[in-house]
Amino acid sequence: MNNHPLNNKNVILGVTGSIACYKAIDLASKLTQLGAKVDTILTDSAQQFINPISFKSITHRQVVTNLFDLDNELAVNHVAMAESADCIIVAPATAHTLAKISHGISDDPLGTTILATNAPVILAPAMDGKMFENPATQENLAQLIQRGFFVCGPEFGRMASGLVGLGRLSNTQDIVQVTSMILGKNSDYSQKKILITTGGTQEDLDPVRTITNRSSGKMGFAIAEAARDRGAEVTVISAPTSLNNPIGINVEKIKSAIDMQQSIENHSIDCDVLIMAAAVGDWRAKTIAKTKTKKLKDQNWEIELVKNPDILSSIKNDSLIKVGFAAETENLVENAKNKITNKKLDLIVGNDVSRTDIGFNSDNNEVVIINPYGEVENLPKMSKYELAHEILDRVQTLLN
Ligand SMILES: Cc1cc2nc3c(=O)[nH]c(=O)nc-3n(C[C@H](O)[C@H](O)[C@H](O)COP(=O)(O)O)c2cc1C
């Protein structure tokens, strides 16, 4: 993926002697798939759990296992390796390695490389809950954070011992997200504030029933992640979705169209860009029953719907760049063109939600992007994260 912050980056993956070592193979694979050049360093203890060949086969690059290995260029040249790194990830990071790093001990390839680097170092601890709670570990971590190291996790859950506690290695996706965010910090959206809406709003009929739509929230969250990975400060206003909040993004949960309007009004004041990927309900029930509406024999339930307000009309920030989405099942371009004019948007992204391979709930999308002059750009089918970058590229031109 060309526009991913990990693409073409030199990443050193340090793997230390935890039972969670096997998860580092998945991490090495994911980083490589995203275009990173991953050199792995295994501590002696890590090699008790896992074989270097697993990493070599996945990354197709050198794996360092011994500081004094004359046949391994990277081992001997660990200072050069440290200097050329864009970032170092230690996952899993044992209590022992955290202690060593915090005291500057460099008796192995990982310790020497970390001492010699200026690149950001991300530590993903994994250990028994009591080991993690121990004041020695906590003090070591606090000192490392104070020195500018980044820490991802650990998570709460069941550990190898069978005990439940705080000590599980963060999942691969979270470690990748933290790394992407750190690598993208100074990109073209740094200093920019972006507000994104996502999900499908819900309008109550009674305490148990709602009117909603099929929007999954995936498109809005993909834009949020892409903007975060380009250095933006991102807020997402999210109508109900089953998705986890992305790392490093402020998420405000709302339910109805009126909640959405209120929230946009509050957050848009000091934002540079508003991207409205949420599917906002056009109608709501005129009255909401206070108790559950009972099913009575031979009796239908007639619901009167009233129009929801126009969300954009309450925005008070004139310099805001506004990007809308048009989810259509017919006459896509014509309907999207009408919407960009009626809503006075700077760009509109139209997608055909009648197709099952794109749009609602899919990981991919195929869209048209239309500007206020009516110029239509057809984009091929791509992942929602890639599409998010395409949209952000065009918004960047407007910002300039
Ligand atoms: C089966 C087993 C599992 C272990 N799991 C962990 C662990 O998850 N986290 C940890 O901090 N230490 C764990 N240890 C202890 C470390 O392997 C030990 O402290 C070692 O010295 C770490 O060396 P390193 O940090 O240089 O890799 C484990 C040890 C054994 C025998």
Classify the phi-psi angles of 70: left when phi > 0, otherwise alpha if psi is within -120 to 50, otherwise beta.
alpha
Alpha carbons 259 and 203: distance in angstroms, whole number: 10
Q: To test the ligand 1 pocket, which listed residue (22, 41, 49, 96) has its Cβ within 8 A of the most ligand atoms?
A: 96
Q: pLDDT-based confidence at 75, cuts 50/70/90?
A: low
Q: pLDDT-based confidence at 71, cuts 50/70/90?
A: confident
Instruction: Return the residue whose CA atom lies nearest to atom 3 of ligand 1.
Output: 19
Instruction: Return the residue whose CA atom lies nearest to atom 25 of ligand 1.
Output: 97
Output the CA 308–ligand 1 centroid distance in Å.
Answer: 58
The percentage of the chain sitting over the pLDDT mark of 90, rounded to a whole number, equals: 76
Instruction: Return the residue whose CA atom lies nearest to atom 1 of ligand 1.
Output: 19
pLDDT 10s digits, 358-392: 666 778 888 999 998 989 999 999 999 999 999 99
Q: pLDDT-based confidence at 76, cuts 50/70/90?
A: low
pLDDT 10s digits, 230-262: 999 999 999 999 999 999 999 999 999 999 999
Tokens of 236: 């997402």
| Residue 158 near residue 165, CB atoms below 8 Å | no
Output the CA 74–ligand 1 centroid distance in Å.
Answer: 25
Mean pLDDT within 197-225: 94
Average pLDDT, the chain: 92
**How far apart are the two ends of the chain, measured CA to CA in Å?**
25
SS3 label, residue 275: strand
* Domains, in order of start, for the chain: 10-183 (3.40.50.1950), 193-289+301-399 (3.40.50.10300)
Output the CA 111–ligand 1 centroid distance in Å.
Answer: 16
pTM: 0.89
pLDDT 10s digits, 278-333: 999 999 999 999 999 988 778 899 999 999 998 877 787 888 999 999 877 778 88
Output the CA 118–ligand 1 centroid distance in Å.
Answer: 27
Output the CA 393–ligand 1 centroid distance in Å.
Answer: 45
- Nearest atom in ligand 1 to the alpha carbon of residue 45 is 27
pLDDT score for 400: 85
Catalytic residues: 213
Alpha carbons 358 and 270: distance in angstroms, whole number: 33
SS3 label, residue 322: strand
Q: To test the ligand 1 pocket, which listed residue (18, 50, 127, 138) has its Cβ within 8 A of the most ligand atoms?
A: 18
Whether the pLDDT of residue 77 is over 90: the answer is: no
pLDDT score for 74: 67
Mean pLDDT within 175-196: 96
Run of H or E residues at 78: helix 78-84
- Nearest atom in ligand 1 to the alpha carbon of residue 108 is 26
Output the CA 199–ligand 1 centroid distance in Å.
Answer: 43
Alpha carbons 363 and 359: distance in angstroms, whole number: 8
Q: Report the amino acid identity of residue 84.
A: S
Instruction: Tally the C-alpha atoms within 13 A of residue 80's C-alpha that lie toward its C-beta.
Output: 5
| Residue 237 near residue 259, CB atoms below 8 Å | no
Any idea which residue has 């750009």 for tokens? 377
Q: Report the amino acid identity of residue 306.
A: V
| Residue 164 near residue 158, CB atoms below 8 Å | yes
Instruction: Return the residue whose CA atom lies nearest to atom 14 of ligand 1.
Output: 18
Omega within 30 of 0 (cis) for the link into 92: yes
Omega within 30 of 0 (cis) for the link into 240: no
Instruction: Return the residue whose CA atom lies nearest to atom 11 of ligand 1.
Output: 94
pLDDT 10s digits, 339-354: 898 888 999 999 877 7
- Nearest atom in ligand 1 to the alpha carbon of residue 95 is 11
Instruction: Return the residue whose CA atom lies nearest to atom 16 of ligand 1.
Output: 17
pLDDT score for 214: 87
Instruction: Return the residue whose CA atom lies nearest to atom 10 of ligand 1.
Output: 94
- Nearest atom in ligand 1 to the alpha carbon of residue 17 is 27
Using alpha carbons, select from 191, 201, 200 the residue that is nearest to residue 227: 191
Helical spans, DSSP H, in 198-353: 218-228, 257-268, 332-342
On the 0-12 / 13-18 / 19+ scale of CB atoms within 10 A, 318 is exposed
pLDDT 10s digits, 44-54: 999 999 999 99
- Nearest atom in ligand 1 to the alpha carbon of residue 159 is 8
Alpha carbons 121 and 228: distance in angstroms, whole number: 19
Length of the chain: 400
Residues with CB under 6 A from ligand 1: 16-20, 43, 45-46, 94-97, 126-127, 131
pLDDT, greater one: 24 or 213: 24
pLDDT 10s digits, 80-139: 889 999 999 999 999 999 999 999 999 999 999 999 999 999 999 999 999 999 999 999
Output the CA 42–ligand 1 centroid distance in Å.
Answer: 13
